[in-house]
Amino acid sequence: MKRFVAAALLAVALLPSLALARPMVMTDSHPKAQELVDGQNAQYSVRFDGPVDHRQALLSITGADGKAVSTLRPLLDSAPNVLFASGPRLAEGDYELHWVVRSIPDGEVSSGAVPFKVKK
**In the chain, where the domains are located:** 23-119
pTM reported for the whole predicted model: 0.80
Q: Mean pLDDT throughout 43-49?
A: 96
pLDDT higher than 50, residue 4: no
Fold entry, domain 23-119: Immunoglobulin-like (2.60.40)
Strand ranges (E), the chain: 26-30, 36-38, 43-48, 58-63, 68-72, 82-86, 93-102, 109-119
pLDDT digits (tens, 9 = 90+) for 64-107: 999 999 999 999 999 999 999 999 899 999 999 999 999 998 89
pLDDT digits (tens, 9 = 90+) for 8-30: 344 444 445 445 567 899 999 99
Q: What is the spatial distance between Cα 43 and Cα 67, in angstroms, rounded to a whole number?
A: 20
Q: What is the spatial distance between Cα 5 and Cα 26, in angstroms, rounded to a whole number?
A: 40
Q: What is the spatial distance between Cα 66 and Cα 112, in angstroms, rounded to a whole number?
A: 14
Q: What is the spatial distance between Cα 120 and Cα 113, in angstroms, rounded to a whole number?
A: 23
Q: What is the spatial distance between Cα 120 and Cα 117, in angstroms, rounded to a whole number?
A: 10
Whole-number pLDDT of residue 21:
64
